[in-house]
A and B are shown apart, each in its own frame.
Chain A
Amino acid sequence: MVPNYTFHRRKILIMFVTCLAGFGILMGRLGYLMLFQSAHYTALAQELHERERSIKAARGRIYDANGTIIADNKTVCTISVIHNQITDAEEVIGVLSEKLEVSADTVREKVEKYSSREIIKSNVDKSVGDAVRACDLDGVKVDEDYKRYYPFGSLASKVLGFTGGDNQGIIGLEVMYEDYLKGENGTILTQTDARGVEIDTAAENRIEPVDGCSLYLSLDVNIQKYAEQAALKVMEQKNAKKVSMIIMNPQNGEIMAMVNVPEFDLNDPFTLNYQMDTSVTDEEYQDLLNKMWRNSCINDTYEPGSTFKIITAAAGLEERVVSLTDNFYCPGYKIVEDRRIHCHKVAGHGAENFLQGAMNSCNPVFIEVGLRLGVTNTYKYFNQFGLLGRTGIDLPGEAGTIMHKQDNMGEVELATVSFGQSFQITPMQLITTASSIINGGTRITPHFGVEVQNSEETVIEKLSYDTTEHIVSEETSETMRYILEQVVAEGTGHKAYLEGYRIGGKTATSEKLPRSENKYISSFIGFAPADNPQVIALITIDEPEGIYYGGTIAAPVVADVFDNILPYLGIEREAVTEEETAEN
């Protein structure tokens, strides 16, 4: 037997000490990893384990002036299957194909596909979703989601706009007030294993969604409906391309109705609102959709024609280059430099004063006023009236005014501008400027949005809009109201006359470019009561067939609308006495 020597013991101790050193190093390494690197690796690991599922926030509702919901949310369901949670595949296939009206083969393919989640059908009505849920099938998930829903269908379609797949606004107010309406999506953070399967026992980290704010509009569904019917009626009668109408409170710029017929169905915005004969490419189809969605009150400009004489008159009166009693003579044309510019009445209006010229809508009278003003003053007033910029309406894509550059404006241009030709503005700009002239001289910002409330119905913001006072004097404003009332009472706008109401207005018939095509835009701008305007309306009829005079076809529509909405707005009919009639 060989004994165990002392040097063996020493060697064993050396080995132990070496082990100790090795363990020491490893403990140091562990300490480094688990204390100093801990945050780093914990974050990386967490990123690996956590899955984020978002909870959609309900989009804010849109209400009209009466508190009627005009844009709402509908709960819809998305039905999906999770392959490895399915216990009875045949039953799942049977139930889903029957309830969702999807072919059994399609369902089978998705049920048998090895994936974490397969969507069978989305945008399913809630009742159907509830029915599927009631079947309590293993591996079938019913997730609720919100979808925008417009209870009035096509009403004010181009104003309200609609939302896309992610519930984001695409056009109209839905885009403009996106930040208020969209809310904040919540999230559920879940822990998953390496296959991505959620772990039931792990605590969910949930961030609740914040629902979007509600938007209250000045738009009134009843007025909008009535205006839409009237517009549709005239469009059909005159076989016009389209008819637009804006009805606004001239005192504060609150828009009560904005019609652009033909409207489209907001609940089905990606389908054209007319039958198409030819097949088109996707790109062309998208162009057609874009065209259908255009709001011509603000997105398109036109030559306003005679309605613009309101502005020329206001500028002339304000600059005192003309007064009501100034005398003019109309031979049926006016020669400016080398051009002979015709009046719409070829025979001429003969001798007339300024008031009569306005009532006759006589071009030479307004050319004369324009020339008296001169380019510099004309431009000064255009600027002062806010005519050259945009109105600042709370709708996206507003077009600007297309006007001659001041430097390029000669006498001929000045003359044509004076009666509303050779430049373009939007109907919105025209009605806004006219409002500002007749309301006592305060330039207002037209708008729909009145206030914003959060989901607890607390007002969080009263929307305010810029105003500019004294763009014309009160005196000029009053004179203008008088002139325009006379236009309706006895002038070209007499077809807008309503018994018992004092209505002011101006007609226009503008020839579209190119002039040779003989296509017209007939329009009428009217307001009531003439002494204290509470409502102003502008109708434009695009390419009417047959008689196309604004005074003949546009003015009666406004009269018809006023006849109905003035009592609705609480503006009482004045008792008509024999005396007054005689006086008129």
Chain B
Amino acid sequence: MQLASKRFTVEDPVSAQEFFHSRGWTDGLPVVPPTADAVAAHLAWSGLPPDHLVGIEPVRQRAITAEKLAVNAVMAGCLPMHFPVVVTAVTAMLSEPFLLHGATASTGGSAVLLIVNGPIRLEVGMDATFNAAGPSDRATTCIGRAVRLILGNLLEVKPGGIDRSTFGHPGKISFCIAEDEEHSPWPSLATERIGDPHVSAVTALAAMAPRQLMNEWTTEPTEILDTYVAEITANMINYSLWPGNYVIVIPPQLRTHFERAGWSKADIRRYVFDHAFIHRRQWAGVGKGAVVGDKGDRMYRALPDPDDLLVVAAGGPAGGFGLVIPPWLGHKSRAVTVPVGACVDC
């Protein structure tokens, strides 16, 4: 396989670390040296030629090839079988609704959240249960990390460079969740968004840090969702009131109550849509009175539409916790779902 990337010779694996760190090509953690064999193995697994054009970053007009993605995926610790997920994630990020440049350059400091659905989760060993939003397994951690290295090395999304984040958050190291489809009463996120239950898919969202909640003291779906709604509206008051794609992650303990009551994901979306809103005057209560003006009675919903709520089943078997993952800045960047293996130009 003919690879176009420039080659460098280093003394040994330890020297390789210093070589990559010294050039600013890492996220601060050690990387796997991207040898030609390793990169070729990634490309071969996906059946992609090195010069396959995955997409063009629309603002900076950067062509993103499969070879460069593979180099970074190897560095992140990915196995070849992880690579189709990485390619799919980047394909989603390069689509116009994702607004990649804005989402990754903003002072707001979002990370790229990946939600993986379908058979490929199990094939690559993704764990959607314990520590689902953290480092639960090799596949989710390395795939999420690959996205960060790709942004840094191919689009110069580095702190103080393109990335102007005031804070960022830990999800910028790796932010990848698999949905627990095997223990869920509901269709998966991807099934609902693209309509095919047999297809693997990746949903990408420019997302803020997860906000954890707890309600173990009721079995009523509405009361459980009231806690999620409270977390969403707290985000609207304290961070951004603009509507967008919120993610809520529901663990097994709470899913049991929804299942028993016969609630579908659509029911959940409708309830959250109806109840997650604030009035602008609420900003005055948190020190933002200066921007309330004469719009105090104006109502702002968290969701432009019920379908903008991404409901995900994941989490360890015990604990009445939940996660709300807010969007970066309302609907400026939209969640994008792309089937694994889809080709946008063939």
Decide if A and B are genuine partners: no
